[in-house]
Amino acid sequence: MDQKGMITEYLFKKLKFEPTEAQTPILECRKRFILVAGGEQAGKSMVASKYLVSRFLETEESGLYWLVAADYDRTRAEFNYLVEDFAALGILASVTKRVDPGNMILADGTRIETKSAKDPRTLAMKAPDGIIGCEASQLDLDSFHRLRSRVAPKRGWLFLAGTFEGSLGWYPQLFATWNQGAFDDEQSFSLPSYSNKHLYPEGKRDPEILKLRAQSSDEFFMERIEGIPSPPQGLVFGEFRPDIHIDREAKWVKGEPVYLWIDPGYAGAYAVEVAQEINGQINIIDEVFEQGLITTEIIEIAKSRRWWQDVVGGAIDIAGYQHQAMSAPAEIWLEAGVYLDAKKVRINEGTERLKGFLRPDPTTNIPKIVFNPSCQGILSEFGVAQSPIDGQTRVYRWKIDRDGNIVGESPEDKNNHAIKAVIYGLIDRYGYGHITSRSFIKVKRWR
């Protein structure tokens, strides 16, 4: 055991705390980004607080740590555990009575503060040495990226603990990505409910756990008791990773060409994905994702955005050149000064093209395309956010039979308008890659 391990063992012994078999690998992990998916009443808050106790002496000077949740009240459990632990260790110098906001200061000057993700301004202060994400599954995706960026200046750590509430969204997808431990800095763990021996003395064989298993669906038991996501089968883009494919720095770069990639979405959303190529990487910097609006209204929204001045053209679904009851959408965009190319895209080959851009470089772990977190339409189709139109879970997926088997050779043609818009743009600019056969309509390019 190294010196840090000996210090941690000493602190836990003083607190009369003996980690369980499930808690030990979590508390011993020293990767920078840790996600704990806990079952109900698994002791996530206690484990999170003990993790901070195990690490607060690692800084040479007094440290700064945050407890962050969707609101202040959700930090209360971790805050109270830490107050008890540091008081028991005899090093608690001062503590506030409230948690909204609250703080405690230790004898060496180390400061622990509560933060609410509802107010992003509280997350823009001095960079902390470590952050505990309390009830982290309740945080939104943008808050996760803010927290990750806040620990960057000090190469600090981020510890997320939460319970799955449905297996779609950024939290379960991040769990699945990090679960294999294949990355240098990230690791996820499951903390089952029955690992809490105070509530379930017999662990997995406890009568209450056996009763829950018998009376619950497999999905509920996996998610809410085992702490293992049970996502719906058939996601078309199951490899989408919110930690590397979503980038808050994917913003408009003034003066660089802006491309509009469009799917008019007659029966669903009208999607306009806004792209720039920066240093060889496609950045989806913004989107217009609306339902029930006509092309002229969509154009008015686009014209109000700052990036409009740099628009040089784009691509549209080939149906965008077909006349309906009025002018074709592509012609209306042309009247607004935007020339759009259109090619007939074979859906499965287009899907593979997008997957190729999502695939991270094996050396740098950087993909060829990233998305700003404000692009909620396409993120909902990837399965990491709720639909901005109705707040429901609407994901692009394959057709599945009642046994969970994929049916047919093409995905369901719905919940994919933004994804298809990006595919049209990629095919227009880069072609099909290794596929040589093409069928397309030639349309004048702007540039």
pLDDT computed for residue 385 by the predictor: 83
pLDDT tens for 100-111 read 999 999 999 999
Least confident range of 81-90, 239-248, 428-437 = 428-437
| Total Cβ atoms within 10 A of residue 33 | 21
pLDDT tens for 416-425 read 999 999 999 9
pLDDT computed for residue 182 by the predictor: 58
Place of tokens 């943008």: 142
pTM: predicted TM-score of the whole model, two decimal places: 0.75
pLDDT tens for 103-159 read 999 999 999 999 999 887 778 778 999 999 999 999 988 899 899 999 999 999 999
Range 316-323 average pLDDT: 85
289 vs 266: CA distance, rounded Å: 12
pLDDT tens for 249-259 read 999 999 999 99
- Of 52-56, 172-176, 323-327, highest mean pLDDT: 52-56
Least confident range of 143-157, 333-347, 433-447 = 433-447
pLDDT computed for residue 325 by the predictor: 53
Mean pLDDT of the chain: 89
Taking CA atoms, 415 is separated from 129, 186, 343, 354, in Å, by: 40, 30, 21, 16
Fold observed for domain 3-231:
Rossmann fold (3.40.50)
Say whether pLDDT at 433 is over 80: no
133 vs 149: CA distance, rounded Å: 14
Say whether pLDDT at 437 is over 50: no
Residue type for position 224: R
Say whether pLDDT at 45 is over 50: yes
- Of 207-216, 262-271, 304-313, 341-350, highest mean pLDDT: 304-313
pLDDT computed for residue 15 by the predictor: 95
What tokens appear for 109 in the block? 């000057």
CATH class of the domain whose range is 243-441: alpha beta
What tokens appear for 374 in the block? 């404000």
**pLDDT cut 90: percent of the chain above it:** 66
CB 56 within 8 A of CB 110: yes
Say whether pLDDT at 444 is over 70: no
pLDDT tens for 406-415 read 777 788 889 9
Q: pLDDT confidence of 441, banded at 50, 70, 90?
A: very low
Range 296-318 average pLDDT: 96
Domains of the chain by residue range? 3-231, 243-441
